[in-house]
Amino acid sequence: EVQVVGSGGGLVQPGGSLRLSCAASGFTFSSYAMSWVRQAPGKGLEWVSAISDSGGSTYYADSVKGRFTISRDNSKNTLFLQMNSLRAEDTAVYYCAKRAEYSGSYYLFDYWGQGILVTVSS
Amino acid sequence: EIVMTQSPATLSVSPGERATLSCRASQSVNNNIAWYQQKPGQAPRLLIYGASTRATGIPARFSGSGSGTEFTLTISSLQSEDFAVYYCQQYSKGTFGQGTKVEIK
């Protein structure tokens, strides 16, 4: 059974940093691109960042470029999101998501983590 | 940037009735359209990809159609478990629509 389990959220002050993790199991992690998608309270979905299966290529939404860094450890089946210079508008539930089997696109997702709440507030 | 616009924002439907949700792209997306269902407190679930192909395990009452810039998700006979928020997404670059909430009439 495919599982993606996120961790690492919490309350952080504006300007602070946080690192999210996502542990994957039930599939060959190193064969799939992975992404982070976020959802602000009461709002819609926003793709944040993607990383290729090898980790050699990374992509970011303009809203987080230069502040967030996506990475992965294929030996530990784990995805990361390092978030620096956090702002109030980064407050959201963050989902890790697996690239779907059906397409080579990095942006189609068939399995999602349970969501990690990040709150940026003083 | 491709902008995805969904309508209506809220759709009130009685159980057993048909629901039709619309999604418009600001430019052609080559049928790289997906639909997701999200219930409160849960992660989104992939329903449709390629504009019209159901993902594994998705009931036949869900169908997608459209091409170019206009797309539709139809739920043929709403069940109680179908009341949720639905998002379209163009997966050439990952942009989501703002969502349509399907509520009980």
Q: For residue range A53-86, what is the model confidence (pLDDT) as tens digits?
A: 999 999 999 999 999 999 999 999 999 999 999 9
- A45, A59, A93, A106: best to mutate for the B interface, most B CBs within 10 A: A45
The tokens for B10 are: 């809220």
The single residue listed with the structure tokens 């784990």 is A78
As a residue count, chain A comes to 122
Ranges of residues in chain B with a pLDDT under 70 are none
Look at residue A38 in the predicted model and tell me its pLDDT.
Answer: 98
Report percent pLDDT > 70 for chain A.
100
pLDDT the model gives residue B30: 87
Q: How far away is chain A from the Cα of B52, in angstroms, using its nearest Cα?
A: 13
Distance of CA B75 to the CA centre of its chain: 9
Supply the pLDDT for residue B73: 98
Confidence (pLDDT) at A11: 97
Residue A57: DSSP 8-state: -
Q: Closest approach of chain A CAs to the CA of B15, in angstroms? A: 25
pLDDT at A103 over 90: no
Q: What is the mean pLDDT of residues A101-114?
A: 92
pLDDT of residue B12: 96
In whole angstroms, what is the distance from residue B40 CA to residue A13 CA? 27
The dihedral built from the CA positions of residue B72, B78, B79 and B85, taken in this order, carries a sign that is positive
Closest CA to B4 of B79, B78, B100: B100
Retrieve residue B77's tokens: 């006979």
pLDDT value at position B93? Answer: 87
| Three-state SS at B58 | coil
B94 closest CA partner among A68, A92, A61? A61
Mean pLDDT of chain A: 96
Q: Is A115 a residue whose pLDDT tops 90? A: yes
Q: Residue A101's pLDDT band (boundaries 50, 70, 90)?
A: confident
- The predicted pLDDT at position B82 comes to 97
Strands B100-104 and B10-13: parallel
Count other Cβ atoms within 10 Å, centred on residue A35: 24
On the question of pLDDT at A10 being above 90, the answer is yes
Task: Give the one of B43, B53, B87 whose C-beta lies nearest to A113's C-beta.
Answer: B43
- Closest CA–CA distance from residue A119 to any residue of chain B (Å): 16
Helices (H) and strands (E) in chain B, counts: 0, 11
